[in-house]
Amino acid sequence: MHRPFWWIPLVAVALVMAPLAGFFVAPASSVAAGPAAPVAVADDELVLLTSTGQVRIDDLHTEPGITQVVWNSGSEVGWQRVAAGDFNGDGDDEIVVTSGGRIKIYDPVVQSGSVQSVLDFTLGGGRSFRLIITGDFDGDGRDEIATTHTESGTNIQEAVKVFDGGTNGTNWTVAYEESFAAPWEDISAGDVNHDGKDDLALVRQPGKVLKVYNGGTWTNLFQNGYSKPWLTVAVGNLDSAYAGDELAMTRTDVLDILNSVILFRWTGSTMDNLVANANYKYYPNFGSVALGDLNGDGDQEVVLLRDPVADKTSVLMINPAGATMRAFQQTIGYGATAWKLVRAGDFDADGRDEIVLLRGTGYRVYNDPQANDLYTDVAGNFYVSATTANVPTMAVANVDGPGQTLGPSLALSTTQLSFDLEFGEPSPTQTINITNAGAAATIAWQAQIIEGAAWLRLDKTSGSTPSTLGVSVDTTAVAPGTHTGRIRIAATSGGVANSPQDVTVNLSLQGVSMAVSPALLSFTVEYGASSPEQTLTIASAGGGSQFGWQATTLQGASWIRLSATSGTTPSTVKVTVDSTAAGPGTHSGAIRIDALDAQVAQPTQYVTVELTVPDPGFLVTPNQVFILQRVGGPAVTKDIEIFRAGATIDWVATAVPTLSMGAVADGIASDRVQASAAGVSIDGIDVNPPAWLVFTPDHGQTPSTMTVSVNTDVPGTYHAVILVVAVDPDTPHRVYSVDVTALVVAEFNYLPFVPRE
């Protein structure tokens, strides 16, 4: 496959007008000037298969004003082979992948006015694709796809099948197919006979065969068996003095006695060695080969990769013709750490190809091999062959042609700021440059603090590109410690790429602050019951210094109780509440804690105290009374307290013999009790107390004290129940009963006191 005809002049323009500062490094931009119109460049992208078989494009370099290619095949995974070619003639490459018997095309970037290439086809009969390459075999300016796949039949193991996508890469037919008795080891495409059409070269180990199809006619351009088995083949222009392409091949079973690398050129009737008396005796053999113009002299160099088995050369470059280039060879691993595949491409559009190596744990790009050995490693999990071989699990492709020009694109000089300060120290101002990285235009923007508004400070909240945003912090507005804030910068109009963007601000603040916890104390206490204790902790945070403190109850002083109102850190304060003083209901109080040292951060803090006292309703106590009365003796009395928390209400009382209490209880349960100043009745029938029981008063207002006594001269045991009823029917716990037991005796009999021995 050849680059589009416009590639060379565009690269020349890129080199003259926008020289690169370095691979993977974007040119510095000045805030003082607006963006220049983007320069169209044709750089390559890297096409990978992840370990799940997802297709992924890595765009390793993007010119200012050009959209970076960000694309993957999403949920479509399981792909095993990948290649690229321009199937619809729109000036950029599409991606073709295979898995088992399925072949599919992805067109990540469709050029304006072109038709998206489409192919999704599955072989029948359990056949599987093995190898894949693309090339313009018919010379129509659009690439075709050449594949090998498993085949069955008498003396048949594999077939070559070539697909042609027609005018727009959408109407796919089989342009050629042929079956073979043995599988091919590797395939490549290029214009071997210099007729303007790519030819297809294949090598295999059985029969040691090299076969080259004439791409224009699909006839045999060349076929021959050799003495040693072939491993790889790559077709490209190794000598710019010759217009056609040459073959770079590797073979095995030669040890270090014969050349394991062979460079062939088609001379019209046979294949001749490109380099006379070449000394390419490398052992172990190289299993993967790629061609690339590493020094920008117009012809390609040969890059070889192997698993050296020991700590020997893994990568080697051969420069058979053209300008002299420094030696390039690398010793970079073997066995478990061996690299599996090599490819070359011009990722930064500088007119010189870079070298990329792949293995399961990542890939490595040698950024400028003609000048140095520097490289960039990218970690990941990728699908590769088990051994170092030319199995196509990675491809180099120009998927966006001259690049897709950005519209307005918001660019920030940084998306992270850090401050390391002392509490109370004045903050420096850090600057964010805000520019338009896209087409020449002015972008209006606004800035908003999303997190950390209490301590983050901005010198402005809006502006237009190019401009700066100053960011500082208030070191007294937050306690010492580590804090994270976030600023969101967004274009104020639509159609702006990379908007909004967030800037993370990290603040590390040193010093001592007061830490009071918890900030909320919540109590639920029955009216009159004892309060549980809760603990308030007052401590130094962010440093070891102690300081004094003072506590003041701002609200709820009548019912909040503190075990201490001053002290020195660290301290604990026991907090209780008085439910009787507060009364029924929901109450909220506040405690203020003040540090007595002016250098302490957050010197004043507040604690909220919440108290819920359930309404006890109408209360009568006690609920049992026992009277021991001697006939003719002074009257024995007992008191019953009657009250209503937080209110004054009317009440009346009566009594019934204990034996009648069952009917009375039924009346109470069914809410048939009526109470008035005249007394108590159930279903309209007055309830009268027994004659022996005296209680006074029998009605009144809360709070009241009822006195109970016995009025009888007949000895015996007496039982009755006093009913005390709130007159208001809406009063909670409206009816109370008090059990009264009286023992009336003629005389008191005492047992003699006998001291213990």
DSSP per-residue string spanning 114-128? PPPP--EEE-STT--
Q: How far is 251 from 274, CA to CA, in rounded Å?
A: 16
Closest CA to 718 of 753, 689, 752, 684: 689
Closest CA to 418 of 370, 485, 499: 485
Q: Would you give the distance in Å from CA 471 to the centre of its chain?
A: 26
Q: Is the dihedral of CA 82, 387, 329, 208 positive or negative?
A: negative
Per the listing, tokens 């399961």 go with: 360
The 3-class SS string of 318-375 reads ECCCCCCCCCCEECCCCHHHCCCEEEEECCCCCCCCEEEEEECCEEEEECCCCCCCCE
Secondary structure E strands in 334-480: 341-345, 354-359, 362-366, 375-379, 394-397, 410-412, 416-422, 430-436, 444-451, 456-458, 462-464, 467-473
Q: How far is 107 from 86, CA to CA, in rounded Å?
A: 10
Q: Is 457 helix (H, G, I), strand (E, B) or coil?
A: strand
* Two tokens, residue 439: 């087409």
Per the listing, tokens 């003629």 go with: 746
Dihedral pair phi/psi, residue 9, rounded to 5°: -65, -35
Q: How far is 419 from 509, CA to CA, in rounded Å?
A: 8
Secondary structure E strands in 645-726: 650-657, 673-676, 679-682, 685-686, 693-696, 699-701, 704-710, 716-726
CB-count burial class (<10 Å; 0-12, 13-18, 19+) for 422: exposed
Q: Is 294 helix (H, G, I), strand (E, B) or coil?
A: coil
Buried b (16+ CB within 10 A) or exposed e, 369-407: bbeeeebeeeeeebbbbeebbbbbbbbbbbbbbbbbebe
pLDDT at 179: 96
Q: Is 573 helix (H, G, I), strand (E, B) or coil?
A: strand
Buried b (16+ CB within 10 A) or exposed e, 118-128: bbeeebeeebe
Dihedral pair phi/psi, residue 358, rounded to 5°: -130, 140
Dihedral pair phi/psi, residue 482, rounded to 5°: -105, 130
pLDDT at 515: 87
Beta carbons of 327 and 277 less than 8 angstroms apart: no
What is the spatial order of strands in the sheet that 102-106 belongs to? 81-85, 94-99, 102-106, 120-122
pLDDT along the chain (757 residues), means of 10: 38 32 37 45 92 97 85 96 96 96 95 89 95 97 97 92 95 96 97 96 96 94 96 97 95 94 95 93 96 96 96 96 95 96 96 97 97 97 94 96 84 96 90 87 94 96 96 89 95 88 94 89 92 94 81 96 94 95 92 90 92 89 93 93 87 83 67 66 79 93 95 93 89 88 86 50
Percentages helix, strand, coil for the chain (3-state, rounded to 5) are 5, 45, 50
Dihedral pair phi/psi, residue 8, rounded to 5°: -65, -50
Beta carbons of 579 and 586 less than 8 angstroms apart: no
DSSP string, 205-241: SGGGEEEEEETTTTEEEEEEE-SS-EEEEEEE-S-TT
Pairing status of strand 94-99 against strand 102-106: antiparallel
Q: How far is 10 from 43, CA to CA, in rounded Å?
A: 10
* Two tokens, residue 78: 């399981």
Closest CA to 339 of 291, 306, 317: 306
Q: How far is 220 from 217, CA to CA, in rounded Å?
A: 9
> ω before 697 within 30° of 0 (cis)?
yes
Closest CA to 288 of 339, 331, 232, 334: 232
Q: Is the dihedral of CA 729, 731, 733, 737 positive or negative?
A: negative
Q: How far is 243 from 96, CA to CA, in rounded Å?
A: 28
* Two tokens, residue 571: 């301290």
* Two tokens, residue 175: 């342009």
Closest CA to 485 of 447, 454, 446: 454
Q: Is 659 helix (H, G, I), strand (E, B) or coil?
A: helix
List of residues 6+ apart from 350 with CB closer than 8 A:
11, 14, 15, 20, 296
* Two tokens, residue 375: 């490289």
Dihedral pair phi/psi, residue 497, rounded to 5°: -70, 155
The 3-class SS string of 161-213 reads EEEECCCCCCCCEEEEEEEECCCCCEEEEECCCCCCCCEEEEECCHHHEEEEE
pLDDT at 700: 93
pLDDT at 594: 95
Closest CA to 338 of 365, 305, 366, 316: 305
Closest CA to 573 of 518, 514, 513, 512: 518
Which domains does the chain show, CATH number per domain?
Answer: 410-510 (2.60.40.10), 513-613 (2.60.40.10), 618-745 (2.60.40.10)
* Two tokens, residue 473: 């912090």
The 3-class SS string of 500-561 reads CEEEEEEEEEECCEEEEECCEEEEECCCCCCCCCEEEEEEEECCCCCCEEEEEEEECCCCEE
Secondary structure E strands in 54-172: 55-58, 70-72, 81-85, 94-99, 102-106, 120-122, 129-135, 144-150, 158-164
